[in-house]
Chain A
Amino acid sequence: MTYALEVKGLSVSYGRGPVVNKMSFALDKGDLVGIVGPNGAGKSSLIKAMVGALTPDEGSIRVGGDSGKKATRRITYVPQRGEVDWDFPVTVEDVVTQGRYGKVGLLGRFGAEDRRLIAEAIDLVGIGELKSRQIGELSGGQQQRVFLARALAQQGDIYLLDEPLVGVDAATESAIVEVLRNLGDGGKTVMVVHHDLSTAREYFDKILLMNKDRIAFGPVDEVFTPQLLQKTYGGRLTVLGSGSVAVMAD
């Protein structure tokens, strides 16, 4: 059976030891998955390895049967906002245009279809009036939407987002979650490193609990239990009575 995205035995290390240890999971088309775990659990590194920006020590990544470079090309990536240089001289439109570079290449011309996809992506996330602004002029929520638009313009099958909802306003948060749901409904596969336990259950179909190792993976109701959360966060959680969880993780 060919999964949309299959990761097997992936390990990534940073000189001081593994930050991702033999990670394995398989996603189907249309899955909307949240990656949850404490700080330093390797969530960002996992994503970066899947996208081809970090070289894993071992393991494989398959996208719909392809592996290696072909696989990573089909994955689109939305970075953590904090990692981007907001003073960089690019406008909103410039950034979203980068989403088409994979297709048009180094010197290729932009066709009508490319232009349409760019404009569409910008509209879908709701930042049409801002397209000529330099990205540093944008608010936090708007900046996040720019990178989502870039990913949409790429027209990939798999979307990996690194903490997209940190520090965004409520309107942006629901706008982004809606875009992600629509992607899932449209048959795309979406995987999100999520920071907020209280909304994880509501936003995602499946959850991957990790803390360097894979703790659990599956439908959100099966995985989001006090016992497994305790195991993931190592006692930094308080489990209240009636099975609900009070979050005291960082």
Chain B
Amino acid sequence: MQGFFTSETFARAVEFFSFQYSFTVYALLASILVGAVCAVVGAFLVLRGMSLLGDAVGHATLPGVCAAFVIVGAKEMGALMIGALVSAFIAALLVGAISDKPRTRPDAAIGIILSVFFGIGILMLSYIQNSPTAAQAGLDSFLFGNAAAVSREQLYLLAGVSVVLISGVAIFFRYLAVATFDPVFARSIGIPTRVVHYGLLGALSLAVVVSVQAVGVVLVAAMLIIPPSSALFLTKRLPGVLLIGALLGVLSGALGAFASYLWEGVATGPAMVLCAGFFFGVALLFGPRGMFKDRGGRRVRLAD
């Protein structure tokens, strides 16, 4: 292992904060936005027990991107994103369609869609590139993220989508909260739980598609799951989970982008995830609802 904290590292750190290269600024902003929007959407996924759906949806973007590439011909970013969005959403719908039939399991449904869609994507990709080895340039950053490669247009798109999704959550907060907490009660007071469900799937697909560039396909699930899960140890009310989750997501994103700049060979995706994991560990151990406040692993219950 090369030395981690050399004088060169320090020099690069200073360089980073001088913000003289636009790509570093874009990388930082992209990572921050990804952290925020994934945490906010991911909170509802985690609370509904749909955490790994984010993993499936992330993997399912690949065939859409390839299909768009084939149809449109050139590397048109907009078309590729629409393709990714369509296949991501279809995957999310299919998981639900498979899950509630007899002789199926919901966890297996996620695994099936995840791997089959991704397999279709790999097949298409290798076919497009006309070789049996699917190892090609560009796939690396798609898989593991490369926030530094984010262009200005992509950044605008990411910002726009983040604003839309986060305000959407704020506006529909009551519906989302009740439908997630107690769906039967929600139906009884007239909340359209089906619409809420599909809306959440749509939000998930959008969040994943715009985040894949920075975090990569394999780890986007982490940014959906980890920051909100950390927040659950730090607060006992849902608005707090969203805010603190977003904050942790932003911090993880920023630190991840920074770390990626400091050390060569460190992709932004894994770096963000490790930061998020670190915060999770701290929250798990020291948070007000974490381990040291609640020894033995069972919640402290009041007596009758």
Contacts and interface: CB of A to CB of B under 8 A. Distances in A.
Interface of A: 15-16, 48, 51-53, 69, 72-73, 75-77, 79, 83-91, 94-95, 98, 101-102, 106-107, 130, 133-134, 136-142, 150, 154, 169, 171-172
B102 interface: yes
Contacts of A98: 177-178, 181-182, 185
Interface stretch (B70-78, B80-88, B187-195): B187-195
Interface in B225-246: 232, 235-238, 240-241
Rank and list the top 7 A-B pairs by shortest CB-CB distance, nearest first.
A134-B236, A102-B189, A169-B304, A53-B187, A51-B188, A53-B184, A139-B304
B184 A138 contact: no
Given A15-B102, A139-B302, A142-B304, A107 B171 contact: yes
Contact of A53 (B183, B236, B302): B183
A187 B192 CA distance: 30
Contacts of A15: 102
Contacts of A95: 181
B47 A77 contact: no
Contacts of B11: none
Interface of B: 47, 102, 171-172, 174-175, 177-178, 180-185, 187-191, 232, 235-238, 240-241, 289, 299-304
Given A75-B188, A77-B184, A79-B182, A139 B232 contact: no
A90 B171 contact: no
Nearest to A52: B187
Contacts of B177: 90, 98
Contact of B185 (A77, A86, A172): A77
Nearest to A170: B304
Given A51-B188, A102-B189, A102-B190, A90 B303 contact: no
14 contacts: A15-B102, A48-B184, A53-B183, A53-B184, A72-B188, A79-B182, A79-B185, A88-B238, A90-B238, A98-B185, A102-B189, A107-B174, A130-B302, A142-B302
Contacts of B184: 48, 51, 53, 77, 79, 83
Given A85-B181, A89-B236, A89-B240, A101 B47 contact: no
B171 A73 contact: no
Given A15-B102, A134-B236, A142-B302, 20 more contacts: A51-B187, A53-B183, A73-B188, A73-B189, A77-B184, A84-B181, A85-B47, A87-B232, A87-B299, A88-B180, A89-B240, A89-B241, A90-B177, A101-B191, A107-B171, A137-B299, A139-B303, A141-B304, A154-B189, A171-B304
Given A84-B182, A98-B178, A141-B304, A91 B188 contact: no
A57 B182 CA distance: 23
A77 B191 CA distance: 14
Residue from A16, A72, A90 with most neighbouring chain B CB atoms (10 Å): A90
Given A51-B188, A53-B184, A89 B175 contact: no
Nearest to A83: B184
Residue from A85, A91, A171 with most neighbouring chain B CB atoms (10 Å): A85
A101 B189 contact: yes
A101 B190 CA distance: 10
B228 to A, nearest CB: 10
A76 B299 contact: no
B34 to A, nearest CB: 23
Contacts of B303: 139
Contacts of B172: 106
Nearest to B234: A89
B146 to A, nearest CB: 34
Contacts of B238: 88-90, 94
Given A15-B102, A53-B188, A106-B171, A90 B301 contact: no
Contact of A106 (B175, B182, B235): B175
A107 B176 CA distance: 12
A16 B102 CA distance: 10
B46 to A, nearest CB: 11
A83 B241 CA distance: 22
A67 B182 CA distance: 24
B28 to A, nearest CB: 30
A155 to B, nearest CB: 12
A136 B304 contact: no
Contacts of B47: 85, 88-89
Contacts of B182: 79, 84, 98
Nearest to B241: A89
Contacts of A171: 304
